Amino acid sequence: MRRPNKPRIVKPGLVWKWDTRNSIWVPYHRVNWTEGGKRKQRTTKLDWRGDSERLDMLYWQCRAGKHKKQTAPAKYTWRQLITAWREDPRVQSRLADGTKRSYSRTMEAILDKNSDKDVRRTTRQAIRTAHSKMSETPRKADKYLQTVSLLWNYGAEKLDWPLGPNPAKGIEHFGKQSEYEPWPEWMVDKLKDAPEHVRTAAELILGTGQRPNAAIHMKFAHFDGEWMSVLDEKSDERIDVYCPPALREFISRAPRNGAYVLAKNLTEPRGYWSISSSFRTWRDALGPEAKKYVLHGLRKLSIIRLAEAGCSDAEIQAVTNQSAEMVAYYRSRASRKALSRAAQERRK
């Protein structure tokens, strides 16, 4: 039987070979090069299925080095590194649950953008740039450096990965920051125009005096009409916080889009970074005077409001679960006139 003519498709590096078994012409992409004085060749079979458009697509994938047969399975990825760290009992048994959750948040942020990227290709400049971009949230920025360094050392020392020098080592941290600024009342008043999930987060933080991440993980099932059961991530302790009337009404009217008050779907809460990003967009639109305020500042405002209402330090601690030193610090920021009125009212 005489062979039929080759398909009339001619491209540089495209060669046709006769498949005797199936009696068809099969296209291959061929690359020739010289290495160490020796001539070398690599061919990649193109499964074109008789479709010229598909052949064109596969051909250009090969030209770009992106054909699936040209790319080896990724090694030493951030996903592999973080998974190994999370599943290592030697590491996990030494860490408190709160510490693990703290690292986990930063690791999830790393995975969002770098999951399948080769850890070895991470440059010092890239780490420095990412750290600088988070300067507005210095604690988060320094936690990022700390987490990258921890993972890098784990990969090099425990997994024997060929990583080279730690790119996060020696980059200057922003260091210990001044305490969060409590929100001014004018900014609280602006919440009525904020995106729904930003306002909901703010109401939960201010009403319960808890951290933003604790507010994000509040479920409708945790609220019994008066009390909200809250998990303090630092102490890994669940506490019951009595909700003021305004918060009770707000929760009762909140749309039930899932198990969580701040629901992503039926079973998951919104992510911290999603709420934080929406908050910053809303805050920045308020003007430069709002720039210094963050969600955590509402937790501090709750201390001030409780102090101005005449609450003792012990009562404030019972609500917010903050240290005596922190309560004393923010009590000093409370309005002297409001404190005076509350004190004199007690004389009645």
CATH number of the domain within which 250 lies? 1.10.443.10
Q: Is the same domain home to 148 and 251?
A: no
Q: Give the pLDDT confidence score for residue 1 in this predicted structure.
A: 53
Q: Is the same domain home to 191 and 262?
A: yes
Assign 68 a pLDDT band (cuts: 50, 70, 90): confident
Going by their DSSP bridges, the two strands 227-232 and 237-242 should be labelled as antiparallel
Q: Is the same domain home to 55 and 116?
A: no
Rg (CA), the chain: 29
Total tally of structural domains belonging to the chain = 3
Q: Give the pLDDT confidence score for residue 269 in this predicted structure.
A: 92
Lowest mean pLDDT among 35-39, 256-260, 336-340: 336-340
Q: Is the same domain home to 136 and 196?
A: no
Assign 113 a pLDDT band (cuts: 50, 70, 90): confident
Lowest mean pLDDT among 102-106, 117-121, 154-158, 216-220: 102-106
Percentages (nearest 5) of helix, strand, coil residues in the chain = 50, 15, 40
Cα distance between residue 58 and residue 29, in whole Å: 9
Evaluate whether residue 166 is within a structural domain: no
26-49: average pLDDT = 87
Instruction: Determine the 3-state secondary structure of 29 from DSSP.
Output: strand
- What tokens were used for 124? 């010092």
Q: Is the same domain home to 232 and 330?
A: yes
Handedness of CA 267, 273, 277, 282 (dihedral sign): positive
Assign 140 a pLDDT band (cuts: 50, 70, 90): confident
Over the stretch 39-57, which tens digit does the pLDDT of each residue have? 888 889 999 888 888 999 9
Assign 78 a pLDDT band (cuts: 50, 70, 90): very high
Evaluate whether residue 5 is within a structural domain: no
Cα distance between residue 333 and residue 331, in whole Å: 5
280-300: average pLDDT = 93
Give pTM, 2 decimals.
Answer: 0.55
Evaluate whether residue 172 is within a structural domain: no
For the chain, the average pLDDT equals: 89
Cα distance between residue 308 and residue 294, in whole Å: 22
Q: Give the pLDDT confidence score for residue 203 in this predicted structure.
A: 96
Q: Is the same domain home to 82 and 198?
A: no
Query: What is the torsion angle, in degrees rounded to the nearest 10, for the CA atoms of residue 139, residue 142, residue 144 and residue 145?
Result: 180
Q: Is the same domain home to 108 and 224?
A: no
Residues 142 and 173: beta-carbon distance below 8 Å: yes
Q: Give the pLDDT confidence score for residue 178 in this predicted structure.
A: 67
Over the stretch 242-254, which tens digit does the pLDDT of each residue have? 999 999 999 999 9
162-180: average pLDDT = 86
Domain that residue 113 falls in: 78-157
Q: Is the same domain home to 131 and 267?
A: no
Q: Give the pLDDT confidence score for residue 34 in this predicted structure.
A: 81
Give the helix ranges, DSSP H, for the chain. Answer: 52-63, 78-87, 89-92, 97-114, 124-133, 138-157, 185-189, 196-208, 212-216, 245-253, 272-284, 297-308, 313-320, 324-331, 336-345
**DSSP assignment of 124-140, as one string?**
HHHHHHHHHHTTTSHHH
Cα distance between residue 322 and residue 327, in whole Å: 7
Whether residue 176 has pLDDT greater than 70: no
Q: Is the same domain home to 219 and 327?
A: yes
Q: Is the same domain home to 194 and 334?
A: yes
Cα distance between residue 287 and residue 169, in whole Å: 36
